Amino acid sequence: MTGDMMMDRETEQRFEAIEVQLRRLREVADDPWRNQPPTLIGGARELRPALKGPTLLPDSPGFWAWATANASAGDNKWSYTFAEIEKTGAAYANWTAKSGGRTGTMYNTVENINDDAGVQGNGVDLANLDPDGGPYSFAIQPMPNSVPVWVREVPVTGGTVEYWFAYESGVDGECD
């Protein structure tokens, strides 16, 4: 290559990142099932998730996973350690960790606006969990382990990727 034709490594990496994004956009644009609800295709071999709704992140491929642990990431927010899973039989249950599947940390889009006061991402106003300062001990809970969720890769400025899913956090507690 001549001096004019050589690209520095940074430029080459930018082109590679753009190519990956274009490939993902083409995959989504070419997918006739993109805006359809979950559907079994070819018997029970492939489950197509719906890609609509304000908490889902469109135009990026996804995969099934479940949380294996969680850690606090702020007030009423958690980061979740995950393992990619696959469906191994019909109906409920029959989900197993995928051999050689992805693992890492994922975040819940519904928890994104949560903090220590006011209405949380699941629609619950924290003031209503103990409105009179009475004998209640209710709180927003993290997603339980082993719940299958559809996870999406989300590119972050700077070239990294995060994993995000949508799950309505529950509320639990007791009356004293």
Average pLDDT over residues 84-110: 95
Average pLDDT over residues 19-31: 67
Please list the residues that pair with 71 across neighbouring strands: 79
- Would you give the DSSP letter of residue 143? P
pLDDT of residue 31: 55
Mean pLDDT score of the chain: 79
| Whether pLDDT at 132 is above 70 | no
Average pLDDT over residues 100-111: 96
Q: How confident is the model at residue 27 (pLDDT cuts 50, 70, 90)?
A: low
pLDDT of residue 74: 94
In sequence order, the 6+-apart residues with CB closer than 8 A to the CB of 117 are: 126, 127
Domain locations in the chain as residue ranges: 9-169
Higher pLDDT, 149 or 3: 149
Average pLDDT over residues 64-86: 97
Which helix (H) or strand (E) element contains residue 79? Answer: strand 78-87
Q: Which of 122, 125, 126 is nearest to 167 (CA)?
A: 122
- Would you give the DSSP letter of residue 16? H
| Whether pLDDT at 7 is above 70 | no
